[in-house]
């Protein structure tokens, strides 16, 4: 049975807020299972050496590179963004838009003054 055209939306219908679609969920699982992006970023931050691709005819079978300071800083920034919330400016005031008064007291001070 289809929803009548122009009728209000039925309460509670549709996908719940924050529910990922099937493709997004499957893609996320595959990346976490096969690539370990967080582990890679942690290794970059620590300055771990990585195998590098060798150009054809390069002579050596394996080459290693170390992440630069800029790359380590970038990886640390990406990891920090995953665990720390964004800091945003917040305006404080009472319901009428007036200022909020903050009174700092030491322990044991009389609250009545």
Query: Based on the structure, what is the number of domains in the chain?
Result: 1
* 2 domain residue, yes or no: no
Give pLDDT tens digits for 45-80.
999 999 887 766 656 677 889 999 999 999 999 999
pLDDT band at 14; cut points 50, 70, 90? confident
Note whether 92 and 77 are within 8 A (CB).
no
Instruction: Compute the average pLDDT of residues 10-26.
Output: 80
Residue 69: the pLDDT is 96
Q: Over pLDDT 70: what percentage of the chain?
A: 81
Question: Whole-model pTM?
Answer: 0.52
* 73 domain residue, yes or no: yes
Note whether 94 and 100 are within 8 A (CB).
yes
Instruction: Compute the average pLDDT of residues 28-33.
Output: 87
* 109 domain residue, yes or no: yes
């Amino acid at each position: 049975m289809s929803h009548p055209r122009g009728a209000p939306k039925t309460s509670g219908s549709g996908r719940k807020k924050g529910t990922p679609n099937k493709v997004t969920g499957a893609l996320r699982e595959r990346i976490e299972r096969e690539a370990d992006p967080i582990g890679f970023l942690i290794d970059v931050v620590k300055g771990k050496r990585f195998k590098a691709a060798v150009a054809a005819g390069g002579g050596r079978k394996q080459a290693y590179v170390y992440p630069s300071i800029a790359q380590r800083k970038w990886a640390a920034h990406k990891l920090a963004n995953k665990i720390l919330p964004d800091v945003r400016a917040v305006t404080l005031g009472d319901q009428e838009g007036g200022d909020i008064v903050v009174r700092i007291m030491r322990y044991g001070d009389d609250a009545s003054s």
